[in-house]
Amino acid sequence: MSAPTTKAAIEAVWRVEAPRLLGGLTRFVRDVELAEDLAQEALVAALERWPETGIPANPGAWLMTTAKHRGIDAARRRRMIDARHAELAQDAPATAPTAEAGDAGDDVLRLILISCHPVLSKESRVALTLRLVGGLTTDEIARAFLTTEPTIAQRIVRAKRTLAEARVPFEVPAGADLVARMPSIFEVLYLIFNEGYAAAAGDAWMRPALCQDAMRLGRILAAHVPDEAEAHGLVALMELQASRMRARTDARGNPILLLDQNRARWDHALIQHGLAALGRAMALRQPLGVYTLQAAIAGCHARAREAAQTDWPRIVALYDALVELTQSPVVELNRAMAVGMAFGPAEGLALVDALVAADLLDDYHHLHAVRGELLEQLGRLAEAHAAFARAATLTTNTREQAVLTQRAARLAPAVPRRPAP
Amino acid sequence: MRVMVIVKATANSEAGHLPSEELLAAMGRYNEELVKAGVVLAGEGLHPSSRGRRIQFRDGERRIVDGPFAETKELIAGFWLWQVTSMDEAMEWARRCPDPMPGEAAELELRPVFEPDDFGPALTPELRAQEDRLRATLEGRGEA
């Protein structure tokens, strides 16, 4: 006696099939909006039919055929069989569901490319990617981004309109054209990940489900463009960072610095998978990109069984390359910290002070926190106190502020006590 | 969530019979599908228990037992570790697995991995950890 076909089981089939179904339908009707409507109708039909018949042997083909038939029916009803519906009719003869031939893999990549198309704003790309490729509902996306469902729904509607108006081509580009589209996709996936990993201000809440979604989307992407080193690098970066999630805070939610974390609490399955992805990125022998470099730095930490075993000189070398690629003062600051670990606090401080002299990042709290750390190591406690106090006034994150204030207080110059009256 | 998918052993797998070329090809296609869906974290096939060893703990004593082990149906022949959103999704993927032991009664067992607090309740208080100073964030560039 097999278990009954439940709504949850049908929705699980849907989650598995939706990206391919949407990608395939988009290929036929060349309209994301219409493709999504047809796919939804197929889901409704499955929810009606499958509890009685059971899940068909090839549910993907069933959904595809059903969606295509719905498309033809609707077009006939409306007596507006235009070119794209005619094409659809040719492609879907009225036969029983059969296995769908063709390159389903391409269809998922097509969907990713469309969702992350550069004509769309960053936030539209994020919403559309989570909806179409990640299979999240608009409500789930809204909750993840702490906004309302109508806001996200509106954003998705606008995005689809923009795609239609811009007449975005639905072909998967090849060669250099495909490579040129990658940064826009990487950016969206890493944005989703960071949205889950850390919030920018206030009493932040981690939203780990978003990290899971981003990592999964990254793995899907890497599997579809296996020759793109940065795709593997991005997967590695996300997985290696996520591997530290449960060690990042203590029981009360206070942050624990990387070097103070209990490494037994790191997620070693994710570390293994992340290091394997990093290995694939490196093995392609392409010039190291920003994601692969960051992943390699994270990999240095992941490989060190104890903080003291960290290969700081290698981290510095990786930061050198990253500074060259990004020209970012934030990366230079991170490099200064690594230099301090590798070659001593005086060397690190000299680099931080060079940033200060260049008037870069003066209102960036991390600069002053790093400065305070290095000054404290050098025994220049009064200056360290001032640096931590300044860092505390600059951060908008309340918990971080508390930690910095506490560090400043510990270094406070002794105030001479007034004699008791 | 993570799910461990356990492939139960059979007389043939315990006898060390290697899978047919046909089954290997089908499993290869299936694994590729899993990878392309971003589901797989790990997966391996295991040698028969004749190459396995056990350590038994009893009354503070440790006793070593060499394989093979008798209770074939309780043994495992391989496993996957999957990252999925629900047990239903995992079951849907498992349903699509080629018969791993053709000609014998085969079984996959799916067990959710216990994850105490890492990806726990959706609203765990968390903040931008100060480890950020060691993470190369590309803030200046990322917002460009």
> 3-class DSSP state for residue A30?
coil
> 3-class DSSP state for residue A390?
helix
**Mean pLDDT along residues B101-111:** 94
Please tell me the distance from the alpha carbon of residue A185 to that of residue A187, in angstroms, as a whole number: 5
Nearest to B92 among A9, A199, A244 (CB): A9
Residue A220 to residue B36, Cβ atoms within 8 A: yes
Number of cross-chain residue pairs from A and B with Cβ atoms under 8 Å apart: 168
Q: How confident is the model at residue A419 (pLDDT cuts 50, 70, 90)?
A: low
Residue B130 to residue A400, Cβ atoms within 8 A: yes
In DSSP terms, B5 is beta-bridged to B80, B110
Which residues of chain B neighbour A191 with C-beta distances below 8 Å?
142
Give the number of other Cβ atoms within 10 Å of residue A278's Cβ.
23
Q: Which residues of A291-323 are buried (b: 16+ CB within 10 A; e: fewer)?
A: bbbbbbbbbbbbeeeeeeebebebbbbbbebbb
The secondary structure of A128-139 as a DSSP string is: HIIIIIS---HH
Instruction: Catalogue the E-assigned strands of A20-120.
Output: none
Residue B88 to residue A16, Cβ atoms within 8 A: no
The token pair at A365 is 């709290």
Nearest to A223 among B35, B88, B138 (CB): B35
| Cα angle for residues A54, A57, A59 (degrees, 5° grid) | 80
Looking at per-residue confidence, does A376 or A29 come out higher? A376
Tokens 């089981």 — which residue? Answer: A9
> Mean pLDDT across chain A, nearest whole number?
87
Question: Residue B120: closest CA among chain A residues belongs to which residue?
Answer: A208
- A138 pLDDT higher than 60: yes
Which residues of chain B neighbour A329 with C-beta distances below 8 Å?
140
Q: How confident is the model at residue B29 (pLDDT cuts 50, 70, 90)?
A: very high
Residue A223 to residue B139, Cβ atoms within 8 A: no
Which residues of chain A neighbour B88 with C-beta distances below 8 Å?
6, 8-9, 11-12
Residue B130 to residue A403, Cβ atoms within 8 A: yes
Nearest to A400 among B35, B127, B139 (CB): B127
Residues 6+ apart with CB under 8 A from A248: A255, A256, A261, B126, B129, B131
Residue A12 to residue B137, Cβ atoms within 8 A: no
- B136 pLDDT higher than 90: no
Task: Write out pLDDT tens, residues A348-388.
Answer: 999 999 999 998 888 899 999 999 999 999 999 999 999 99
**Mean pLDDT along residues A233-260:** 87
Looking at per-residue confidence, does A168 or A297 come out higher? A297
Helix A208-224 with A175-197: angle, nearest 10 deg: 170
Which residues of chain B neighbour A269 with C-beta distances below 8 Å?
2, 41-42, 81
**Mean pLDDT along residues A145-174:** 90
Please tell me the distance from the alpha carbon of residue B68 to that of residue A185, in angstroms, as a whole number: 50
Q: Which of A165-169, A285-289, A317-321, B32-36 has the lowest mean pLDDT?
A: A165-169
In DSSP terms, B42 is beta-bridged to B81
- B97 pLDDT higher than 90: yes
Which residues of chain A neighbour B37 with C-beta distances below 8 Å?
16, 220
Task: Write out pLDDT tens, residues A386-412.
Answer: 999 999 999 877 778 888 899 899 887
CB A144 within 8 A of CB A195: yes
Distance in Å, alpha carbon of A377 to nearest chain B alpha carbon: 16
Residue B136 to residue A219, Cβ atoms within 8 A: no
Task: Write out pLDDT tens, residues A45-94.
Answer: 999 999 999 999 899 999 999 999 998 887 777 655 555 666 666 655 44
The token pair at A285 is 């022998």
Task: Give percent above pLDDT 90 in chain A.
Answer: 61
* Helix or strand run (H / E) with residue B62: strand B61-66
Substitution target from B36, B113, B114 for chain A, most A beta carbons within 10 A:
B36
pLDDT, residue A398, reads: 79
CB A68 within 8 A of CB A88: yes
**Mean pLDDT along residues A22-49:** 91
Residue A253 to residue B86, Cβ atoms within 8 A: no
Nearest to A334 among B40, B124, B134 (CB): B134
Show the DSSP H helices in chain B as ranges. 11-14, 21-36, 87-95, 139-142
Computed on alpha carbons and rounded to an integer, the radius of gyration of chain A in Å comes to: 26
pLDDT, residue A257, reads: 82
Nearest to A204 among B42, B95, B127 (CB): B127
Please tell me the distance from the alpha carbon of residue B120 to that of residue B2, in angstroms, as a whole number: 12
Nearest to B38 among A207, A217, A322 (CB): A217
**Mean pLDDT along residues A253-269:** 86
Please tell me the distance from the alpha carbon of residue B144 to that of residue A383, in angstroms, as a whole number: 34
Q: How confident is the model at residue A417 (pLDDT cuts 50, 70, 90)?
A: low
Question: Residue A135: closest CA among chain B residues belongs to which residue?
Answer: B85
- A203 pLDDT higher than 80: no
Q: Which of A208-222, B47-61, B115-129 has the lowest mean pLDDT?
A: B115-129
Q: How confident is the model at residue A171 (pLDDT cuts 50, 70, 90)?
A: confident
Distance in Å, alpha carbon of B112 to nearest chain A alpha carbon: 15
Q: How confident is the model at residue A182 (pLDDT cuts 50, 70, 90)?
A: very high
* Helix or strand run (H / E) with residue B108: strand B108-112
Task: Give percent above pLDDT 70 in chain A.
Answer: 88
Residue A203 to residue B135, Cβ atoms within 8 A: no
CA A306 to chain centre: 28
CA A320 to chain centre: 25
Please tell me the distance from the alpha carbon of residue B112 to that of residue B123, in angstroms, as a whole number: 21
pLDDT, residue A90, reads: 61
Nearest to B83 among A12, A212, A272 (CB): A212
Distance in Å, alpha carbon of A95 to nearest chain B alpha carbon: 24
pLDDT, residue B119, reads: 44
Residue B37 to residue A220, Cβ atoms within 8 A: yes
Please tell me the distance from the alpha carbon of residue A158 to that of residue A128, in angstroms, as a whole number: 10
